[in-house]
Chain A
Amino acid sequence: MKHTHNPFIRIWHFYIEGFRNMTWGRTLWIIILLKLFIMFAILRVFFFQPALAGKSEAEKQHTVATSLSGERVDKPAE
C-alpha cells in the first residue's frame, strides 16, 4: 500500500484494510446491516410512526392534556 502522511487517508486505509482482512466478522456485518435495515427502513417507516407526529404544538398539548384530565379539556384557542 502507498504510504501517505495525510491522517484522513491513513485512517481510511486502516478501516478498509481491517474490513478486508476480516474473516469471521463478515457474517456479523451482514447481520448488523440487515438488522439496521429492518429496524429503520421497515419497522420505523411502516410500524413506528410517533403517535403525535404531524400535529401542531397546540394539538399535541391538547391531546396529552385530554388524557391527563379525562376528556375535560376544550379545543385549544389558537
Chain B
Amino acid sequence: MATRSSASSDQQSFMADTQPHPPIDPTNFDLIVIGTGLPESIIAAAASTAGKSVLHLDPNSNYGSHYSSLTLNDLISFLNTQSPNPNLNINQQHLVTESSDNTIAIDLVTRGIYSGVEICCYDQSVEKESRKFSLDLAGPRVLFCADLCVEMLLKSSGNQYVEFKNVDASYVCDGNGELMNVPDSKSAVFKDKTLKYSEKNQLNSFFKLVQGHLEGVKSGASGGDDGKVISEEDLERPFGAFLEKMKLPPKIKSIILYAIAMVDYDQDAGETCKDVLKTRDGIDRLALYHSSVGRFPNALGALIYPIYGQGELPQAFCRRAAVKGCLYVLRMPVISVLLEKDSGNYKGVKLVSGQEITSNKLVMDPSFTITSSYSEALQDVSKVFNVGTVTGKLARGICITKSPLKPDTSSCLVIYPPRSLYPDQATSIRVLQLGSNLAVCPSGMFVFYISVLCDDAVEGKKSLHAAIDSLFSVGTSGTTDTSSSDQTTEVKPTLLWSALYIQDIIEGVMGPVVMTPTPDGNLNYNDLLHATSKLFRNMYPDDEFFPETSNTDTSDQLEDDSEAGIDS
C-alpha cells in the first residue's frame, strides 16, 4: 500500500526561497519533467523504463500537480496560487537574462488554470478536520475496470502501489427529477425495480445487439454480412439517431447515452450540438462499460476508485519511475528555461537554487508558461514553446456533507443528463459521492465531486448550483436541519462546505518542449492517456511505451472483504 506523501505536508509554503535546495547531481539528463501530474508521471515512468535518464521536478511538496489529492486547506491554497495573478508579471524587465556562455534564460511564469474560485463554509468543524481530507483537484473521476488506466497500471506494474474499491451504485436523473438506478448490465436490468418489463426487454435486447456486433467484428464479419453486425452506414450515423432507429424509447435512450456511454453534450440538440457521438464510438463506450462489469471477481460494478484519492495514480507511476532510476526532487521550482543563443534550441533549465541542468528534452505541465510578450519579442522562443491554447472550460465543485444521498450507499455516481435539471442545461452534469471507506474524508462525512463542461464561468456555475440545489439542502445553522427531517420523504444531505471553481482545458502540445494536457471533463482517463502515449511516441519513436513485461499476475485484486481465503 502506498503511503501518502501529501498527508505529511501540511501548509507547505509554495514559495521556494524558504526551502533549502540541495544541489542535483548529475547535471545532465536525457529528459527533464516538470510537474508530477498523471501525464507527466506516466511519461517519466515510460521514459525511465525505456532506459532514459530522467529528472522529475515539482515546485510543490506533493505529487500530482493538477491531478493530486490534497488536504482541505492545501486544496484551497493550491486553487488560489494557481489562479491568474497579475502580480506575477511585475518584473518583466528581468525576463531575459543572457548568460555568458551563449545561452538565453527565459523565465517561467505560472499560468493560472483555475478561476472563479468560491469557497463556502457552513460548518467550521469541516475545516478543523482539514488534514483528514484527501480531495481530488480533478474530480469527479473514476476508473472503468477495463479502461486504459487500469491497463497501464497493470502493464507498468504500477498496480502494486494502489488499491481500489468499487463504486457501489450509479444513478441517473430521469425526466421527473427522480434518481433511478442505472441498469447497466444484464443482471442490473434483471434486478431493477423501476423499469417496466418492456423496458427491460428493450434495454437488454440492445445490449445483446451490441454484444453480437462486437463478437461479429471480432470474428471478422463486416457490416451487412449477416444480421449480427451493425452496418457501416449505421456506424457512421449519430448514436442518438441509431438508438431511435432501434425504437428505444426516450428514457432508455437517455440511460444509454448519458449514464453508460457518458456523453457530455445534448445529442438531441441537432445542429447546435457541439459534439455528436457517432454510433461507432458509442458502441465502443458501451463495450468499455460492459467489459468493465465483472472484469475483476471482487469488483461488482464497472467503476472503481483508488483508496486515498485519485492523487494515488500519478504517485504510483512516479514510484514506478523511481524504481527504474528516475530522480525525484520536489519543492524545486524551475525559474527559467535555457536556450542556446545562436540556434535558439532548448538546452536546459535553471532551478530556483540557481543550478543549471541540461537535458535533451523537456516536458512541462501546462500551468508553466512564458508571458505572451516573449513570443513577440523573440521569434526563436515560439519555435521552442508551442504554448497550448485553452480549448474549453470545466466547472468543478467539491461538496462535503454528513450524510449520503441514499442510505447504505457509501459511494455512487449520479448523472444529470442534459435538460434534466433545467431546460437549457446543455451538457451532462456528473456527480461522484465518496465515503470515508475510501479514506478520502473523516468517518461520518461524505465528499461529492461535481463537474460539467461549460462555455463560460456563468454557465458553469449555474449548472453546479442547479446540481447542488437538487442534491443538498444548504445548512444555515451549521447542523442538520431537524425541522425538515420528515420520515416520509428522503432527507437531502445538508451541505457543510463547498468549493466551486472553473478550470481551463488545455490540450497537450508537442514541440521541442512538450506540454502535457490539463485534466479533461471525462470520468475516466482514457482520452488523457491516449494523448499522453501519443506525446511519448512522438518524443521517443524508437522506444516502446511500457513494453509488455513478464508480469503475468494481472489479477488486480481490489481490497474487498467478500473473499474468504480458502488456501491453507
- Our verdict on whether A and B bind, yes or no, reads no
Q: List residues of B whose CB falls within 8 A of some A CB.
A: none
